[in-house]
Structure 1
Amino acid sequence: MSTLDVVPVSLAEIARIAGVGRAAVSNWRRRHDSFPTRIGGTDVSPQFSLAEVEQWLRNNGKLRNIGGKELLWPRFELLGSRNESGLAVAEAARRMRSSRARISHPELSAQARELVTEAAKLGRAEGPRDTFEFLLQRWLETHVRQLSTTPPPLAALMTRIALTVRLGPQDDGLTLLDPACGTGHLAAAAAQEYEGPRFELLACERDPALAALASARLEFVADDRHIRTRIVTADALREDPFTGAKADVALCNPPFNERDWGYEELATDQRWTHGLPPRTEPELAWVQHLLSHLKPGGVAVVVLPPAVASRKAGRRIRGSLLRTGVLRAVVSLPPGSAQPHSVSLQLWILRAAADGPAAPPPSQDALLVDATGFARPGTREPSPDWDTLGSFVLTALAALDHPDKEPPESAVRVPLLDLLDDEVDVTPGRYTASASEPSPKELAKKWSEFGSLLTDLADQAQHLSVLDVETGTQQTTTTVGDLVKAGALTLRAGQQPAEKTAPVSGNAVPLLTVADLLLDGAPSGLLVTGSGHAVAEEGDVVVAGVIRAFRAWVHEGPPVALGPQLYALRVDPEKLDAHFLAGCLRAPANGRQAGTHASSSSRVDIRRLQVLQLPLERQAVYAETFRRIRAFEALVARAENAGSGLVSDMSDRLAAGGLTT
């Protein structure tokens, strides 16, 4: 029996193989008696035989443009061990490049070796690099909880920073060091960003599987251009394989908060020129390791947790880094820039003293940059807006060696005398907060805008408060379901797309979900049109059919695709006014009576929502009042936000002794 016969796959994996959503697979399972029988798992998370699934998909025309990679990956997962599957992917990459390559990891099992052979054959047929990148990405996704990787946009930004800040000759090539390279994200980004003549990479990784994958990845990069690479499996702090080697640039995303980093055996190490790192400060050991390998004028850019900037145990080393002019800048990144995603990580930019007549004088300050505000709006999870973030950071660093150039807002040049106090805290937010406070002129403008909001709010309140709203009068109503049957409107339900987000290509439209409504109402994804997905056009009424986010509004602007539990209602303008319909539907009592059960997570039966039965001319009167209520609601929200901002600004100003009268 082939190993393929015993490979289990979940509904989600079947959906990925067939290129459809999981709901479609569940539908196939219900409708087709011939669908493969469950071989394991649970009723909620069943598992099926990959061989039987593949045969069923082929027999029913469900496999169209899906390559063999999707069918291959579940078998790598079946190897079980993270290390063995990682080594197998790396070994497959070597065999894809050369069928004569010998097995470099003899510890691989017979099953893994068989898989390596099949993967190599598939890679040579479908493209070695694409196949390897696919397998590597799936491996990283499968073991994401056990690994800490550097996202490509952050790796690219770190490379650009280093190339911008480094001093010395620029025309004799580049030597790059990464002593904790993982799967090679930083090295790959540097190879792509650097366009000079010679590129040499020195990398180290203590995890054998990660080192093997990094080596395989960089071999593909080296195919595009002449790159000399040396990747070693070793613990760079305990057994530095590059002793004496010097680099123009060092990039590193080291492991955080590791107590067992070699404190005892490395107590007298010559790399600690700024002081022996305390046992609780392994990150400062990595910083000094990087500095020991820099050429004069060379730059190190390292990702660090924010606590390293302020912990008491590390203040002496931070002080030495500042006094010697080595620590040139600290950048606070937005949450979500890298793992752990909930933390605002920092980039430390360190530069070895340059030599020669063109070397700048010793610095008397450090540049502190607070970029935490560059999170991407409209996303459920923290995610930076990499384009604007990168532009801001590079603009700020352009002022690094130019005292006459003013850094942008949220970046400040802090004199060393102010930093070298009892704490030696280099957290950017501590120094940029005062720089970002509004000036008296800006504060006066905010008060004026707040006053205008209150005036508009009072005008709307005056109009609404005098309306003669009768109570207890029985009005005739109908339901959305009846209006659909009568042809007064059409109802379309949103659905889950096949993929979470679509690539930005083709006819893509924003994808709005209930989670987006709970965040800030801005779409967070994209969907390629043409798949029959429900799309709200301008003038359609959109309804959120779940109690916790229940609302209805008339869509304005470009088309937007709708996710699950969102509905688009398109009215016949000769029978219904869209604003009248939206106003009737969004009444809280309407949502409660149409809810499936009394909880915040209950769904709303859209067809049961009530609508007043009124002639079209009478609907227009109601529609105008509904518009005023919406405007009043928006003004209340804006006034609340503006008022909160003024309270914060005024409190800070007064607490700093800013009262002059």
Structure 2
Amino acid sequence: MPAAGAVPVSLAEIARIAGVGRAAVSNWRRRHDSFPSRIGGTDVSPQFSLSEVEQWLRDNGKLHDVTGREFLWPRFEALGSRDASGLAVAEAARRMRSPRKRSTLAELSDEARDLAGEAARLGRIEGPRETFEFLLQRWLDTHVRQLSTTPAQLASLMVRIALGARLGQGAGGLTVFDPACGTGHLPVAAAQEYTGPGLTLVGCERDPALAALATARLGFVAEGRTGVRTEIATADALRADPFAGLRADIALCNPPFNERDWGYEELATDQRWAHGLPPRTEPELAWVQHLLTHLRPGGAAVAVLPPAVASRRAGRRIRGSLLRTGMLRAVVALPPGCAQPHSVSLQLWVLRAAPDGPASTAQNVLLLDANRLAKSGAREQGPEWGPLTDFVLSAVSQLDVPEGELPDGAVRVPLLDLLDDEVDVTPGRHISAGAPSGVELAASWTELTGALGQLTALTQHLSKLSLSAGGARTTVTVGDLVKAGALTLRAGQQPAATTASPHETDLALLTVPDLLRDGTPGTRVAPEAAGTVAEEGDVVVAGVVRAFRAWVHEGPPMALGPQLYALRVEPARLNAHFLAGCLRAPSNGRQAGTHASSSSRVDIRRLHVLQLPLEEQAGYAEVFRRLTSFRHLLRGADVLGEQLADDISDRLAAGGLTAGR
């Protein structure tokens, strides 16, 4: 157990403070007897005293351009609960802006108040807003598994859609409403995107810690601009609406998903349900109608919703009413990875309140399928926001243009085609996924031509290699190289826990099933839960016959699962690319494998490596590099060629061959 009063920090936290990789901290701990002793945690995830670590880093010259915020955050985290640290961060922000104003947060402990005061003093030195944003981001990163936030790119896109979809604006400037604002991502995005006169940001959040942080965040927004008014209420917006009379120009919402206890019984006769009482299993449709009641005539709303809302049978009557009244104007299917849950293709619903004057004459709904813009590994990395934003805004700009040209992936669907027994507004049901544009086909042909050109060049080079039968050179095993100190060998481990909701500090976790699929890590793991981490330049080896391979890792640190190994070479004795090339020879894997079953393991220590001087290894390493490129280009050309053949077949089957071709 940590000593009383000691603030514990992990290896990952020390690495962040010092601005180095986790492996560097592990090396310091191993090489320096003076490194602070462990005060808690486990052997896999040890903890150290913050004060002792700070002193050691300073004494050994390991701190470069480190601000006081880095040492401040672990003390907030040591407060214990999510709420305690969140309220303390909010109190620190309040003191930075209004030091003489009395706090209204009675829940704060004396320790939290003292820490908030210290943070406020530091903020006035290093910048109040910068200090608050740092602490807020660290709080969000720490508790990402308990929170659902709206990424900044998605929030910006939602605001721009709403600003473009609204008809006119109130006389007092723009009023923005978010009834489930969390820490204020959507209102902050509205302030960044709207540059006109007069801005009122109104939000509601039932979680006191989130509401306090949103209030602090918007306080800084209002402080930096004239004519900006903000108000955040702590309340359950559906059960006890604190802004019943509010009429906003735009409403934005990323509501809680699949929440069954949303107030179905007590709200059965609520006047907000103009399109029908939402079923108990359709809380998202309650939020949709709540947004509409807070729009002025012609105002627009954008909500993030799970895809099932567009098709579930229980909600078809409400969807039908939204369509018939012209209030549901567009549905955008986003690629996976845009927001939590990252594995789901979420949707944006674009709604608009009926304008003053004649009733709506809308005869169609705009449906957009952006899944075609998804990229490999989108759950981990997110989509390419530039092309996604351009596609969505280009299509939505034609919302009220009946004959305007739409980009590929967007279509106007007549209401009569939607108002059937299902009332399914899922974009993928109405947009063909196998119809790439002429531009996309041309780009694919160009890419394939380039890949084939590179393959031709590599083929010509590799075919001219002068190769002997081999056998004259001596070899050494990996085990012998480890004993000689030429490399270190670390086995991958099953981490304590993984997450499908990645955040900035998580590491990609590579497993043998990932290699057998497509080589892309399918899950993430917190740094403190990662057992073995491959750094850039390490040789990674898969120790199972059916997935046997070896390569030099490039890119950010990556956690390794069971049956994967990380080999770190001593550069003065071994070339990493030479080592990887020798290890991945198929005959090497066969000789070192057990061959007991289809899941036979490879004894990594028995793999053989040529014994060559370092300068001679370089020539072999270059050829091994070319062979690796050859393999990648060959696989890529195969996949691209198959996709092109399928796309052209679809076009031909649809009668797409022009006359004379």
TM-score where L is the length of structure 1: 0.77
Aligned to 2:530: none
Shift of 1:35: 2.0
Whichever residue aligns with residue 473 of structure 2, its letter is: T
Shift of 1:245: 1.2
Does the aligned pair in 2 maintain the 1:175–1:202 contact within 8 Å?
A: yes
State the Cα deviation string for residues 546-586 of structure 1 (Å, max 9, x = none).
Answer: 55573569x9xxxx768675889999xxxx9x999998775
Shift of 1:415: 0.5
Whichever residue aligns with residue 586 of structure 2, its letter is: P
Does the aligned pair in 1 maintain the 2:175–2:199 contact within 8 Å?
A: yes
State the Cα deviation string for residues 80-119 of structure 1 (Å, max 9, x = none).
Answer: 1221211111011101112212121122112211211211
Does the aligned pair in 2 maintain the 1:149–1:185 contact within 8 Å?
A: yes
1:580 & 1:42 partners in 2: Cα distance? 37
2:63 & 2:449 partners in 1: Cα distance? 63
Residues 652 and 238 of structure 1: CA distance in aligned 2, closer, same or farther (over 3 Å): farther
Where structure 1 has 5 or more consecutive residues not aligned to the other structure, the ranges are 494-499, 504-510, 525-532, 537-541
Where structure 2 has 5 or more consecutive residues not aligned to the other structure, the ranges are 490-501, 523-533, 559-565
1:29 & 1:581 partners in 2: Cα distance? 28
The 5-angstrom pairing of residues 241-390 of structure 1 reads 241-355=242-356, 362-377=361-376, 381-390=380-389
Q: Do residues 155 (structure 1) and 148 (structure 2) align?
A: no
Question: Which of 582, 585, 588 is matched with 1:587 structurally?
Answer: 585
Aligned to 1:222: 222
Shift of 1:197: 0.2
Aligned to 1:528: none
Residues 651 and 392 of structure 1: CA distance in aligned 2, closer, same or farther (over 3 Å): closer
Q: Do residues 429 (structure 1) and 425 (structure 2) align?
A: no
Whichever residue aligns with residue 336 of structure 1, its letter is: G
Shift of 1:353: 1.7
Does the aligned pair in 1 maintain the 2:3–2:39 contact within 8 Å?
A: no
2:194 & 2:442 partners in 1: Cα distance? 48
Q: Which moved more, 1:513-522 or 1:184-193?
A: 513-522
Aligned to 2:103: 103
3-state SS of the aligned residue for 1:154? helix
Shift of 1:474: 5.8
Q: Which moved more, 1:80-89 or 1:153-162?
A: 80-89
Does the aligned pair in 2 maintain the 1:481–1:607 contact within 8 Å?
A: yes
Q: Which moved more, 1:584-593 or 1:369-378?
A: 584-593
Does the aligned pair in 2 maintain the 1:39–1:48 contact within 8 Å?
A: yes
Does the aligned pair in 1 maintain the 2:170–2:249 contact within 8 Å?
A: no
Whichever residue aligns with residue 642 of structure 1, its letter is: G
Aligned to 2:408: 409
3-state SS of the aligned residue for 2:219? helix
3-state SS of the aligned residue for 2:20? coil
The number of residue pairs the alignment matches comes to 605
Whichever residue aligns with residue 292 of structure 2, its letter is: L
Aligned to 2:526: none
Shift of 1:477: 2.9
Does the aligned pair in 2 maintain the 1:4–1:50 contact within 8 Å?
A: no
Aligned to 1:506: none
Residues 431 and 480 of structure 1: CA distance in aligned 2, closer, same or farther (over 3 Å): farther
Whichever residue aligns with residue 365 of structure 1, its letter is: N
1:626 & 1:143 partners in 2: Cα distance? 42
2:442 & 2:535 partners in 1: Cα distance? 47
Does the aligned pair in 2 maintain the 1:514–1:566 contact within 8 Å?
A: no
1:441 & 1:192 partners in 2: Cα distance? 34
Shift of 1:475: 3.2
Q: Which moved more, 1:243-252 or 1:81-90?
A: 81-90
2:612 & 2:34 partners in 1: Cα distance? 49
State the Cα deviation string for residues 323-356 of structure 1 (Å, max 9, x = none).
Answer: 1111000001111111111111100000112235
Aligned to 1:529: none
Q: Do residues 136 (structure 1) and 132 (structure 2) align?
A: no
Q: Do residues 475 (structure 1) and 471 (structure 2) align?
A: yes
3-state SS of the aligned residue for 2:431? helix
Residues 474 and 383 of structure 1: CA distance in aligned 2, closer, same or farther (over 3 Å): closer
Residues 112 and 420 of structure 1: CA distance in aligned 2, closer, same or farther (over 3 Å): same
Residues 643 and 13 of structure 1: CA distance in aligned 2, closer, same or farther (over 3 Å): closer
Residues 444 and 197 of structure 1: CA distance in aligned 2, closer, same or farther (over 3 Å): closer
Whichever residue aligns with residue 389 of structure 1, its letter is: L
1:502 & 1:145 partners in 2: Cα distance? 12
2:476 & 2:369 partners in 1: Cα distance? 51
State the Cα deviation string for residues 152-184 of structure 1 (Å, max 9, x = none).
Answer: 111011001111111124875100000000000
Does the aligned pair in 1 maintain the 2:324–2:415 contact within 8 Å?
A: yes
Aligned to 1:642: 641
Residues 78 and 603 of structure 1: CA distance in aligned 2, closer, same or farther (over 3 Å): farther
1:312 & 1:535 partners in 2: Cα distance? 50
3-state SS of the aligned residue for 1:381? helix
Shift of 1:653: 8.6
2:594 & 2:32 partners in 1: Cα distance? 30
Does the aligned pair in 2 maintain the 1:249–1:299 contact within 8 Å?
A: yes
Whichever residue aligns with residue 107 of structure 2, its letter is: E
Does the aligned pair in 1 maintain the 2:144–2:503 contact within 8 Å?
A: no
1:323 & 1:380 partners in 2: Cα distance? 36
Whichever residue aligns with residue 307 of structure 1, its letter is: A
Shift of 1:641: 5.2
State the Cα deviation string for residues 9-47 of structure 1 (Å, max 9, x = none).
Answer: 222222222222222222222222222222222222222
Residues 626 and 21 of structure 1: CA distance in aligned 2, closer, same or farther (over 3 Å): closer
Aligned to 1:10: 10
Among the aligned pairs, what percent are the same residue? 62
1:133 & 1:276 partners in 2: Cα distance? 40
